[in-house]
Structure 1
Amino acid sequence: MPIKKSDLYASIWKSCDELRGGMDASQYKDYVLTLLFLKYVSDKYAGDPSALLLIPNGSTFDDMVELKGNPEIGDKINKQIIAPIAEANDLRGVIDLTDFNDDEKRGTGKEKVNRLSNLIGIFQDANLDFGQNRAGDDDLLGDAYEYLMRNFATESGKSKGQFYTPSEVSRILAKVIGVESADSPSLTAYDPTAGSGSLILKVADEAPVDITIYGQEMDVATTALAKMNMVLHNRPEAVHDIMRGNTLADPKFTEQGSLKRFDFVVANPPFSYKAWTNGLDPENDPYNRFEGFGIPPSKNGDYAFLLHIVKSLKNTGTAAVILPHGVLFRGNAEGTIRKNLIERGYIKGIIGLPANLFYGTGIPACILVLDKEQAGSREGIFMIDGSEGYLKDGNKNR
């Protein structure tokens, strides 16, 4: 029976109450989502030698339950539960980044023992049996991540919600690139700012065949989240195609010194990223991403990400990118780049989105739809005003 989201959210809320003492909201997610992952893979795969993931003896969630009350519970979770699963499934640097024995965050002595024991107890809830549940269309980690950001962004004062693309927006991007017409597993999709992986997974879900997906993410913890999300969606093969690093300065997907090219690209880059030139000399870009278009302003990376995407598209490829409205009308260097993109016919359409959709910013955004295959014969650009198409959801729009 599928997990009820209401049960999942209630458990997350209780978990965060247990964790409040030493951390702010931006850190809660690492512990809660790691524990959610461990519970999920244990329920799904423990005792099945042919399963997608191997859960070693002594490392199941039931074994974690046996640690409740143990004076060394934090150390044993790290070494007896997480480390063997990471080792057996080549997930080192993914699920072992969160330290359950961190005295600074978890407290010391009896306080730490009680907190971790209570945290495990919350996930013992009979309503959270993932054994018969398939992730299917439900982005369990992504939904949990969005829930955490929605409830704690104001508390934390430093929301990391920009790393999650709301599912409704992800669905639009997946549909406008035409991935539903994919007819071969050899087709590829790429997200250069992958965040939690929810967007590229939505693209894969829309495809009628199992296309190959790739992603790159700069944040260490968020890269781990994306890799866990791949496993939760029965795509463990994609774990090693989610890479960590700065996409602009150090793109991980290259072929013979050039950027690898993809059939489909989707992205929700950080809006107006000021530090986009860190580690990169745009005048001497080894991948020639700005050649023929112009170099974006040094303190605004919107067009830097867009030109990276253009260069990463095959000549028959399509892309959809979320960017702030400013890309449509800002002048100077950006005006020149925009003019060159339009003259080459690469911009197929523009969809205006409602304001206040994303966590971490309330500014209005748009979706730029790119299409290289029909660029030579393009005579116009379709425009859709979706700015009023939303529902209020607390202090956010959906």
Structure 2
Amino acid sequence: MAEKKDLLNVLWSGADVLRGKMDANEYKTYLLGLVFFKYLSDSYLAKVYDLLNDTTPDSLDEAQSQYEEIMKSEDAEDLLAELRDSMHYTLEPNMTYQSILNDAKNNAFNREKLQAAFNRIQESDEIFNGLFSDVDLYSNRLGTGDQKQSDTIAEVIKVLDGADLIHTSGDVLGNAYEYLIGQFASETGKKAGEFYTPHGPAQILCRIAMTGQENKKGLQVYDPCMGSGSLMLSCKNYSTEPDFIKYYGQELMPSTYNLARMNMFLHGILPENQHLRNGDTLDADWPTDEETEFDVVTMNPPYSAKWSAAEGFKQDERFMDYGGKLAPKSKADYAFLLHGFYHLKPSGTMAIVLPHGVLFRGAAEGTIRQTLLENGSIYAVIGLPSNMFYNTSIPTCIIVLKKHREGRDVLFIDASNLYEKDKKQNVMKEEHISKVLELYKNRASVDKQAYLASYEDIKANDFNLNIPRYVDTSEEEEEIDLKALTVEMNDTNKAIKESDAQLLQMFSELTFDSPEMEQAMKEFMKVFQEV
């Protein structure tokens, strides 16, 4: 079985071929796309070999050879029918990664053949539709002229040959893919906010949302701003029935939507458990015609994004029960929150990352917040460290919501100091994550760390949820010992006077070349004595 480190090194070395030709946000599309194609192709050949020999092939060359042979026989159609049924796609023998790799090694690489393989997969099943649309094999960014462009792709294909995907467990492969996404986020900077939630906040958010639902079979997870799908996929790490989780996600950016779909497959999620959509979450509600409420809702939406806030939304079921108010046009934070909350089951938990402004801003946001608090919908507020995310340095918070619970108290946790500095970003380590979860589960006040606020506390604060109002992290200044300070000052003054006397004595012993210099020194000593 391939070691994780080896796999990461091979996959990341593919980026070295592309780095310098384009920025990270662009070459991530090529590398992740080609890794995914290799995964589909290698899985396909392994399935062929398994059907013929009832075992996993030692090498892909062996599987390729057997596939080429059987496709010449009368059993070809039966084999393809079984592959189409189990894999949801088929590939001609000359369309496999192995065949294209052999071409590249023999300086006979043909982009048209690779594009034909992409097209075959995309046309095989609706779930693959448009999956490789961002991998432009004819882009000038790959080089100047056909030959250089072909050489660049061929070189990546040869480098990735070192990644043994068929002998690698799903978790290792999925985690390696997540690692790549994280590395791209680090190199991409601000654009990373579209597709990546850093490990610390992601783990806190998912583990909180999963609390009490770990043993549920057929769990339904929803992320209406799914990015690369990492938040939803993290939830399966805390389920005792991960193979039965159904994932519902929506993403606005087509390239990020494709990335999420690839991420799902590489984590071994069956096609029937993937319900992903490319669309605008706020513009039109989804889902509306299948499952509409979910056990777990995870969200890291774009912060303070603009939206239309059109009057018609006041009749939208997602937003209509909050004092006739909508999130302002310039800040869609509460629109995203209310959308997610609308789709939460009464027994479920929602966790969302937002900027601190949602805790205290007034006007329409204040009305919405007050309504949520009056309904007991806000369960906890967790303040995160600043500079955690690649697209902003501002501090953020996690808001936890539940429906129809008893009580209206809110747990406040200040985790703003639970981090370590790492290069450009602050990072929450496992001990920091565990501390937050401990405070959350205990749900009790802890000096300078957490405060369980009653509804009366919150009402007395005019429904302002700014964390410092509830968790006092200030340190009392040490009392000054005036007697000791007086002694210290007297000692200091005495030492200064002794030093001044010694300096004046040294001045008086100087000799001068002229009466003018001697007179100037006397004047200086006179001023010095007066000071």
- Return closer, same or farther for 1:239/1:184 CA change in 2, 3 Å cut-off: closer
1:4 aligns with 2:4: yes
**Cα shift readout 1:155-203 (whole Å, capped 9, x = no counterpart):** xxx5233421123322211211235535444431100000000001111
1:300 is aligned to 331
Q: Per the alignment, do residues 352 and 346 of structure 1 end up closer, same or farther by CA in structure 2, a change over 3 Å counting?
A: same
Tell me whether 386-395 or 35-44 shows the greater mean CA deviation: 35-44
Matched-pair contact (CA < 8 Å) for 1:217–1:244: yes
Instruction: Tell me the distance in 1 between the aligned counterparts of 2:318 and 2:249.
Output: 18
Give the one of 65, 68, 74 matched to 2:111: 74
Q: 344, 349, 360: which one pairs with 1:318?
A: 349
- Alpha-carbon shift at residue 246 of structure 1 (Å): 0.1
**2:157 paired with 1:120:** yes
* Comparing 139-148 and 105-114, the one that deviates more: 105-114
CA distance in 2, matches of 1:120, 1:187: 38
Task: Indicate yes or no: 2:14 matched with 1:15.
Answer: yes
Matched to 1:145, the amino acid is: I
Tell me what 1:174 maps to. Answer: 206
CA distance 1:338–1:309, change in 2 (3 Å): same
Deviation by residue 1:40-87 (Cα, 9 ceiling, x = unmatched): 2333342414664645233322112123265762222111x3222333
- Measure, in 1, the Cα distance between the counterparts of 2:230 and 2:409: 32
Q: Which has the higher helix share?
A: 2
Structure 1 portions without partners, runs of 5+? none
> Which of the residues 304, 319, 324 maps onto 1:290?
319
Report the Cα distance in structure 2 between the residues aligned to 1:359 and 1:135, rounded to whole angstroms.
Answer: 28
Query: Rg larger in 1 or in 2?
Result: 2
Given that 1:282 and 1:290 are in contact with CA atoms closer than 8 Å, whether structure 2 keeps it comes out as no
Give me the whole-angstrom Cα distance separating, in 1, the residues matched to 2:398 and 2:356.
9
- Looking at structure 1, the residues matched to 26 and 94 of structure 2 have their Cα atoms a distance apart, in angstroms, of 28
Q: Which runs of 5+ in 2 are unaligned?
A: 49-82, 428-531
Give yes or no for contact 1:75–1:101 (8 Å, CA) kept in 2.
no
**Residue deviations 1:4-39 (CA, integer Å, cap 9, x gap):** 246525642x43332245532211111010011122
Report the Cα offset of residue 205 of structure 1: 2.9
| Native 8 Å contact 1:191 1:215 kept in 2 | yes
User: Could you say which residue in structure 2 is the equivalent of 1:388?
Assistant: 417
- Answering whether residue 283 of structure 2 is matched by residue 243 of structure 1, we say no
Number of equivalent positions: 383
Normalised to the residue count of structure 2, the TM-score between the two structures is 0.67
Aligned to 2:227: 195
In the other structure, the counterpart of 1:139 is 175
**In 2, Cα distance between the equivalents of 1:382 and 1:111?**
59
Identity across the alignment (%): 34
Post-superposition offset of 1:363: 1.1
Conservation of the 8 A alpha-carbon contact between 1:218 and 1:246: yes
Give the conservation status (yes or no) of the 8 Å contact 2:100–2:114.
yes
| Aligned residue identity for 2:321 | G
Greater displacement, 209-218 / 84-93: 84-93
CA offsets per residue over residues 281-307 of structure 1, 9 Å max, x none? 244455322222121111101111001
Tell whether the 8 Å contact from 1:223 to 1:243 is kept in structure 2 after alignment: yes
Q: Which residue of structure 2 lines up, in the alignment, with residue 261 of structure 1?
A: 293
Q: Is the 8 A contact 1:264 1:317 kept in 2?
A: yes
Provide the residue aligned with 1:42 in structure 2: 41
The change in CA–CA distance for 1:6 and 1:337 in structure 2 (over 3 A counts) is farther
Q: Is the 8 A contact 1:86 1:96 kept in 2?
A: no
Report the 3-state secondary structure (helix = DSSP H, G, I; strand = E; otherwise coil) of the residue aligned with 2:14. helix
The 8 Å contact of residues 10 and 160 in structure 2, kept in 1 or not, is answered as no
Deviates more, 1:109-118 or 1:132-141: 132-141
Q: RMSD of aligned C-alpha atoms?
A: 2.4
Please tell me the residue identity of whatever aligns with 1:35.
L
1:130 alignment partner, one of 146, 165, 183:
165
1:98 is aligned, of 126, 135, 155, to: 135
Q: Which residue matches 1:204? A: 236
Q: Which residue of 2 aligns with 1:360?
A: 391
One-letter code of the match for 1:40? Y
- CA offsets per residue over residues 306-354 of structure 1, 9 Å max, x none? 0111211122221000111111111221111111111110000011111
Amino acid at match of 1:201: L
